[in-house]
Structure 1
Amino acid sequence: MTEPTAVYRLYDAEDRLLYVGITRNLARRWDQHSRAQSWWHLVTRREAEWHTDRASAEAAEITAVQSEAPQFNKDHVPNRRLGQGEYDDTADRRRVRRLLRRDARNKYFHVGRRIYVTALAERYEVSPRTLLAVLQPGSDRCFSESRRRITVLREPTF
């Protein structure tokens, strides 16, 4: 049995190709990327082309990665260098820490408040992965976390 499979491309605001991938379910795959990839907040445009089966989609993906050189693909990249395909979110983490301190001073994090991780990540213009990486080590048990939302247990002091 053949299932239609999409080759998708993700672009940033300057129309640079960030990533090429394949999937049978675009919404689910993009949701996975949004939680797992520190570069996801850079995505401003998405394109998809559908193929009749996975084999033809895989061939098209390999050709696209090799000829179009997306910034964050790691597989099928000829002559890949160490660190190529990685996004350095150091500056994003610094910005999140600064914004968390600002929001804590402004009482944004009142006890009992539930905040969706994706909403807070969008507020700070970072990926959910980057946001959670900042919250986890320094949260000092201020937050109860799940994959999708945080609950404020006590007022944080960032």
Structure 2
Amino acid sequence: MYLYRAYDRRGRLLYIGMTSCIYERVKSHRRTSSWYRDVQSWAVTDLGRMCPWDSAHAEEIRAIRAEDPTYNVQHSPRWRNLGRAGGWAPIDQTRTVGAP
């Protein structure tokens, strides 16, 4: 398993992810991620061939919460899941039911 980080030319962290095949995942980002054009460099941490998926996923979540990359939505401290019909919204644009 690999934990990877994508950075722009100014060194700003754009995205954190995990994968078992780093080359295929980068190719996938190239095809589907709007932020890919801004990537200047990648940092890849090899978590080990025998690293269980749940351990790697826990490390990914920890890193996203601690480092707050620009384009991660899930697990980001800046985003909130609005449920099945609502999708995701920035925390500062969400309100508790009954709040003004």
User: Is 1:7 equivalent to 2:6 in the alignment?
Assistant: no
User: Is 1:31 equivalent to 2:27 in the alignment?
Assistant: yes
- Across the aligned residues of Structure 1 and Structure 2, the Cα RMSD in angstroms comes to 1.6
Q: Is there any run of 5+ residues in structure 2 with no aligned partner, and where? A: 81-88, 92-100
TM score, norm. by length of structure 2 = 0.74
Q: Residues 1-158 of structure 1 correspond to what in structure 2 (within 5 A)? A: 5-51=1-47, 52-80=51-79, 82=89
What is the rounded CA distance, in whole Å, between the counterparts of 1:79 and 1:40 in structure 2? 21
Higher relative contact order structure (alpha carbons within 8 Å, sequence separation ≥ 6)? 2
- The structure number with the bigger radius of gyration is 1
TM score, norm. by length of structure 1 = 0.48
Q: Is there any run of 5+ residues in structure 1 with no aligned partner, and where? A: 85-158
Aligned length: 80
Report sequence identity in percent: 35
What is the rounded CA distance, in whole Å, between the counterparts of 1:79 and 1:43 in structure 2? 21
Question: 1:75 aligns to what SS in structure 2?
Answer: coil
**Which residue identity lines up with residue 25 of structure 1 in the other structure?**
C
- Checking the alignment, whether the CA contact within 8 Å between 2:7 and 2:39 is kept in structure 1 is yes
- Greater strand content: 2
- Checking the alignment, whether the CA contact within 8 Å between 2:68 and 2:77 is kept in structure 1 is no
- Mark the CA change 1:66 to 1:50 in structure 2 (over 3 Å): closer, same or farther: same
